[in-house]
Structure 1
Amino acid sequence: MSSDSDSSCGATNNGDTFLGLRIASVFIVWFCATAGTLFPVLARRSKWLRVPKSVFDFAKYFGSGVIIATAFIHLLSPALDALSSPCLAPGWSEYPYALALCLLSIFSIFILELIAFRWGTSKLEKVGLRHDPHGHFTGSHAAHGPEGAQTPPKEAGDVEQQSRSEEEDHGHHHHDHGHGHGHDSAASAQVIGIAILEFGVLLHSVLIGLTLAVDPDFKILFVVIVFHQTFEGLGLGSRLAFIELPPRYHFVPVVSALVYGLSTPVGIAVGLAVRSTYNPGSATASIVSGVLDSLSSGILIYTGLVELLAHEFLFNKEMMNASNKKLTYALGTMLFGCGVMALLGRWA
Structure 2
Amino acid sequence: MRAHRLARRDDALNCGSGGGADTFFGLRVASVFIILIGSMSGALFPVLARRIRWLNVPTAVFDFAKYFGSGVIIATAFIHLLDPAIDELSSDCLDPAWLEYPYALAFALLSIFAIFIVEIVAFRWGSAKLAKLGISHDPHGHAAGGSHAAHGPEMEKNKVVTAPDMDNVDQEKLQSSRDEESAASQQPHLHLHEDHGFVVDSNMTQILGVAILEFGVLLHSLLIGLTLAVDPDFKVLFVVIIFHQTFEGLGVGSRLAYMDLPRKYSYVPILGAMLYGITTPLGVAVGLGVRSSYNPGSTTASIVSGVLDSISAGILIYTGLVELLAHEFLFNKEMINGSNKKLLYAISCMMLGCGLMALLGKWA
TM-score range, shorter chain: 0.7 to 0.9
Do the aligned residues in 2 keep the contact of 1:127 with 1:181 (CA within 8 Å)? no
Partner of 1:249: 265
Partner of 1:311: 327
CA deviation after TM superposition for structure 1 residue 144, in Å: 5.2
Q: Distance in 1 between matches of 2:137 and 2:250?
A: 30
Superimposed CA distance per residue, residues 9-68 of structure 1 (whole angstroms, 9 cap, x where no aligned partner): 237353421100100000110111001100000000112010100000000000000000
Q: Would the alpha carbon gap of residues 121 and 177 (structure 1) be closer, same or farther in structure 2, given more than 3 Å must change?
A: closer
Q: Distance in 2 between matches of 1:299 and 1:8?
A: 31
1:143 equivalent among 155, 158, 165: 155
Do the aligned residues in 1 keep the contact of 2:108 with 2:310 (CA within 8 Å)? yes
Q: Would the alpha carbon gap of residues 181 and 243 (structure 1) be closer, same or farther in structure 2, given more than 3 Å must change?
A: closer
Tell whether 2:195 aligns with 1:179: no
2:141 equivalent among 134, 140, 150: 134
Comparing 126-135 with 239-248, greater Cα deviation is found at 126-135
CA deviation after TM superposition for structure 1 residue 86, in Å: 0.4
Partner of 2:251: 235
Q: Distance in 2 between matches of 1:346 and 1:130?
A: 50
Tell whether 2:102 aligns with 1:90: no
Q: What is the TM-score of this pair, normalised by structure 2?
A: 0.83
CA deviation after TM superposition for structure 1 residue 178, in Å: 4.8
Q: Distance in 1 between matches of 2:49 and 2:135?
A: 33
Comparing 16-25 with 180-189, greater Cα deviation is found at 180-189
Can you give the 5+ residue segments of structure 1 that lack an aligned partner in the other structure?
A: 160-174
Do the aligned residues in 2 keep the contact of 1:124 with 1:181 (CA within 8 Å)? no
Partner of 1:168: none
RMSD between superposed Cα atoms in Å = 2.8
Q: Would you tell me which structure has more helix in proportion to its own residues?
A: 1
Do the aligned residues in 2 keep the contact of 1:209 with 1:267 (CA within 8 Å)? yes
Q: What is the TM-score of this pair, normalised by structure 1?
A: 0.87
Do the aligned residues in 1 keep the contact of 2:135 with 2:184 (CA within 8 Å)? no
Secondary structure class of the residue paired with 1:328 = helix
Structural mapping, 1:46-65, within 5 Å: 46-65=52-71
Partner of 1:264: 280
Q: Larger radius of gyration, structure 1 or 2?
A: 2
Q: Distance in 2 between matches of 1:85 and 1:177?
A: 56
CA deviation after TM superposition for structure 1 residue 182, in Å: 3.2
Partner of 1:275: 291
Structural mapping, 1:1-348, within 5 Å: 7-10=13-16, 12-132=18-138, 133-135=140-142, 143=155, 178-180=186-188, 182=190, 186-348=202-364
Can you give the 5+ residue segments of structure 2 that lack an aligned partner in the other structure?
A: 1-8, 149-153, 161-173, 192-199
Superimposed CA distance per residue, residues 224-268 of structure 1 (whole angstroms, 9 cap, x where no aligned partner): 000000000000000110111111111000000000000001100
Q: Which amino acid aligns with 2:72?
A: V
Partner of 2:164: none
Secondary structure class of the residue paired with 1:130 = coil
What percent of counterpart residues are identical? 65
Do the aligned residues in 2 keep the contact of 1:5 with 1:86 (CA within 8 Å)? no
Q: Distance in 2 between matches of 1:317 and 1:287?
A: 44
Aligned residues: 324
Q: Which amino acid aligns with 2:102?
A: P
